[in-house]
Amino acid sequence: MALGLIARIRGERETVGIDVGHYSIKFVKVYHDANGKSIVRDVDLEPVPAGSIINGLIQRRSDSDDLSEKGTKKEKDGFDKLGEAFSKLLLRHPIDENVDVVASVNCGAGEGGVLVDHLTIKVPKNGNEDAIIVQTAQSRPPFDDQDNVLDYEVVSREGEDVKVNVVAAKNSMLESWAQFFTRKGIRLSAMDVDIFGLLNAFVATASEEDRKKTTAIFNLGDNKMSVGFIQDGKFHSVRSMNGGSLNVIINKLASSLDVSVEKCHEMFEKNDLKVIEGVAISVIEDAMRSAFEELMSQITFGIRYYSSAEDSRPLEKILIGGGGAAVPGLLEYIAEKTGIETSSVNPFRSVECDSSVVGKDGISIALSNIYAPALGLAMRKF
């Protein structure tokens, strides 16, 4: 139910987080009362039609593809198919015009048009800080691309040294997604990236003690993986891995066990190795550890990237979010290989939810991690 005028005057509001992934669109609505308390009021997802999005870009038909014989029905492109999926979701969950909507698009940090880096820039006393930061960033690859839209956040100032988080996004990518949401009648308050949504979900729901720990948060999705680092309770940096994803594990496992990809998906969704019949559990476990090896190389790469930063501190914890968080044995494998405490993000265990949303048994760990980025987007403050 939409909030009335009196409720809004009192300071109450609702925020919707929409996380568009390769596999599904995730929807989370959060109610914020006048005292800052947040309650999850709605969660849902809708499958993304295959081929609608590739590397963060909505697949659109070129002008030449529109040429067809008279009377021939035009084939739907990714824009059309994704639009239909959104329409189904919005039919179930209409969005009131007074609701803040934050959407993350399937581009990933460093992939599909979004780049992030942690820079230290010299700004002389009485210098134009904004101009110097922007000009310095634009002079360095990969931020020197002419099609980039640049933004930054100052982390700290020490003398002439200004530490900033710089974010650049491809203008063409942003325009494509902005046009899509506009055509669907969705007025965005902000557009974000899924890894930032996941980081915000952690910061917004974790205990003060956990927030103080130096933490790596990996978003393990179906077709990509990215990582964000929290240090001193604040965002430090992010990185995208080209070779890591849930599909890497599934494809290798399906090949090793000579079973279908669908059967592997079912095994992970049910968290039950017995789903694969006629194969000994020990054989499945050995195959899974072998499938984890390639993923582990990407996790190690991400950790090395963070460790190479001048101000980095030893990692105290690793958290896994996204669909990969529910893979049996993966968290234990990562902890064994890194020697670092490893668990899933699972933010819904620390946020209040309407009983109508999660039922008497609560939300599963698997769904909690799948919905985590959308929850983080909906927990943003305006």
CATH of residue 326's domain is 3.30.420.40
Q: Which residues of 183-196 are buried (b: 16+ CB within 10 A; e: fewer)?
A: eeebebeebbbbbb
Peptide bond into 142 cis (omega under 30): yes
Residues 33 and 162 placed together within one structural domain of the fold: no
Is 98 in the same domain as 125? Answer: no
Final residue in a domain of this structure, among 122, 150, 168: 168
66 domain residue, yes or no: yes
One domain, residues 204 and 218: yes
Hey, how many other C-beta atoms are within 10 angstroms of the C-beta on 66? 9
Instruction: Give the domain extent around 307.
Output: 5-113+169-255+267-378
- Does a structural domain hold residue 176? yes
Residue 97 located in a structural domain: yes
Name the phi and psi angles at 363, rounded to 5. Answer: -95, 140
| Structural domains of the chain, count | 2
- Pair 151, 76 in one domain: no
Q: Are residues 230 and 346 in the same domain?
A: yes
Cα angle 29-112-90, degrees, rounded to a multiple of 5: 25
From CA 56, how far away is CA 47, in angstroms rounded?
16
Q: Are 164 and 119 in contact (CB under 8 A)?
A: yes
Task: Return left, alpha or beta for 260; rule: phi > 0 is left, psi -120 to 50 is alpha, else beta.
Answer: beta
Whether residue 241 sits in one domain with residue 144: no
Residue 261 domain-assigned?
A: no
Q: In terms of domains, do 187 and 81 share one?
A: yes
User: What is residue 175's predicted lDDT score, i.e. its pLDDT?
Assistant: 83
Q: From first to last of the 382 residues of the chain, give the pLDDT tens digit.
A: 567 666 666 667 899 999 998 889 999 999 988 888 889 999 999 999 988 887 777 888 765 555 455 555 677 888 999 999 999 999 999 998 889 999 987 555 444 556 777 788 999 988 899 999 988 888 877 677 777 788 888 888 888 899 888 888 777 778 888 889 999 989 999 888 888 899 999 998 999 899 999 999 999 887 788 899 999 888 888 887 777 788 888 888 899 999 988 888 888 877 788 888 888 989 998 998 998 988 898 899 899 988 988 788 999 999 999 888 888 889 999 999 999 999 999 898 888 888 877 766 677 888 888 899 999 999 987 6
pLDDT for the residue 23:
83
236 shares its domain with 102: yes
DSSP letter, residue 109:
B
* Helix 261-270 and helix 246-257, axial crossing angle in degrees, nearest 10: 120
> Is residue 133 in a domain?
yes
User: Does residue 32 lie within any of the structural domains?
Assistant: yes
C-alpha span between 76 and 61 (Å, rounded): 8
Examine the fold and report which residue of 168, 192, 208 is the final residue of a domain before the chain moves on: 168
| Domain final residue pick, 168, 186, 207 | 168
What local confidence, expressed as pLDDT, does residue 245 receive?
83
**Is 260 a member of any domain?**
no
Are 106 and 119 contained in the same domain?
no
With 0-12 CB in 10 A as exposed, 13-18 as middle and 19+ as buried, what is 62?
exposed
Q: What is the pLDDT at residue 270?
A: 76
Residues 153 and 272 in one domain: no
- What DSSP assignment string belongs to 46-73? EEPPTTSEETTEE----GGGG---TTPP
Place of tokens 């899933």: 344
Please give the pLDDT value at position 110. Answer: 45
- Residues 272 and 158 grouped into a single domain: no
Helices (DSSP H) in the chain: which residue ranges? 5-9, 78-92, 129-138, 171-183, 194-205, 208-212, 246-257, 261-270, 281-307, 330-338, 355-358, 365-378
| Shared domain check, 156 and 175 | no
- Cα 320 to Cα 59: distance, rounded to the nearest angstrom: 29
C-alpha to C-alpha distance for 379 and 30, rounded to whole angstroms: 7
User: Does 101 map to a domain?
Assistant: yes
Token code pair at residue 40 = 């999850």
CA distance 165 to 238: 10
